[in-house]
Structure 1
């Protein structure tokens, strides 16, 4: 059994940039600590990636806040997080969930049975989307989320996303495990 960590969208725009929150800022240290608790070759990360035409996209029309524009400062993974995972496999994704990451972890799971833990931002959008996509692709794989290493758009939507994941058999990591 190989335990892997998926670090979702720990990018400047979601921390203290265009879509940042104080809750996102508060998890940086815990996420970095969680990353360091995993072997370097067991860490994967997603990076929300949009182009200059973001406002013309379906997402941009529904969330008209330019963010995570490729190569911008807001697109960059937070320095403290990047330093904690120098060898992570980073997958750019144009939407909430990453099909590429799901495919990659499916191939990895064929070689060796995986257990997957997710952390990151935003609990109620990209974390829940990736967790549910992974659960659909790997229904027999244990998938969990660490609530203490996630933050939502609001505290209420964070809790709602955790409940949604729980209902879909995505476990919650005990906060004191780190």
Structure 2
């Protein structure tokens, strides 16, 4: 069986920056430990915007500049970076994305794991936006893969929206683990 971990948007701006939350800060240590101990292949996503973010559709709906390429908020959180450098897992790729879900991530996973027995685990931010988007896109790309979302290693914009996203993913045959 192929074991894959997808680390979604564990970037400074979502943890202690422009869109940071207490809940996001609370999962960093455990998420870093999951990365350090993971045996398999690690992929990830990086929310990536340009300085014209406020003129985009997303920027008009969420007028908070964040994850601007090259700025401190765009970088992976230092604890996550340390964990990546310390893991014995094979770190494959972190895909930049300018929207909630990553087509590139789906294409990479489909190319490498289609037709194989695969278990794909998700951790990261935000459960109710980017985690759900990427998990459901990967489910569509690899419908026979077992998908797991670690609820305790994800955080949403609010506790209620986190729980709603977990319920929606569960209905779409994503295994939710606590």
TM-score range, shorter chain: over 0.9
Tell me, yes or no, if the aligned pair for 2:6 and 2:122 is still in contact at 8 Å: yes
Which residue among 123, 127, 133 is the counterpart of 2:127? 123
- State how 1:164-175 maps to structure 2 within 5 Å: 164-173=168-177, 175=178
Aligned to 2:10: 10
Q: What does 1:104-119 align with in structure 2 at a 5 Å threshold? A: 104-110=108-114, 112-119=116-123
> What secondary structure does 1:71 align onto?
coil
Indicate the residue corresponding to 2:26 in structure 1. 26
Give the whole-Å Cα distance in 2 for the aligned partners of 1:88 and 1:13: 23
Name the stretch that deviates more: 80-89 or 50-59: 80-89
Quote the residue 2:88 is aligned against.
Answer: none
User: Which residue in the other structure is 1:75 paired with?
Assistant: 74
How many residue pairs end up in the alignment?
Answer: 173
Range with greater deviation from structure 2 (83-92 or 27-36): 83-92
> Could you tell me how far 1:172 is from its partner in structure 2?
1.1
SS at match of 1:64: coil
What are the equivalent positions in structure 2 for 1:137-156 lying under 5 Å apart?
A: 137-156=141-160
Deviations 1:43-69 (A, max 9, x none): 111000000100000100110100000
Give 1:132 shift. Answer: 0.5
Normalising by structure 1, we get a TM-score of 0.94
Which structure 1 residue ranges, 4+ long, deviate > 3 Å from structure 2?
none
Report if aligned partners of 2:114, 2:142 keep a CA contact under 8 Å in 1. no
Q: State the 1:122 CA deviation.
A: 0.2
Q: Which SS does the other structure have where 2:10 is aligned?
A: coil
Structure 1 residue 53 corresponds to structure 2 residue 52: yes
| CA distances 1:121-168 after superposition (whole Å, capped 9, x unpaired) | 000000000001011111111001000000000011000000000010
Q: CA 1:111–1:141 in structure 2 vs 1: closer, same or farther (change >3 Å)? A: closer
Identify unmatched segments of 5+ residues in structure 2: 86-90
Q: d(CA) in 2 for partners of 1:166 and 1:75?
A: 30
Give the distance between the partners of 2:105 and 2:117, measured in 1 at CA: 16
Scaled by the length of structure 2, the TM-score of the pair is 0.94
Structure 1 gap ranges (5+)? none
Report deviation, 1:110: 3.3
Cα contact 2:67–2:73 (8 A) shared by 1: yes
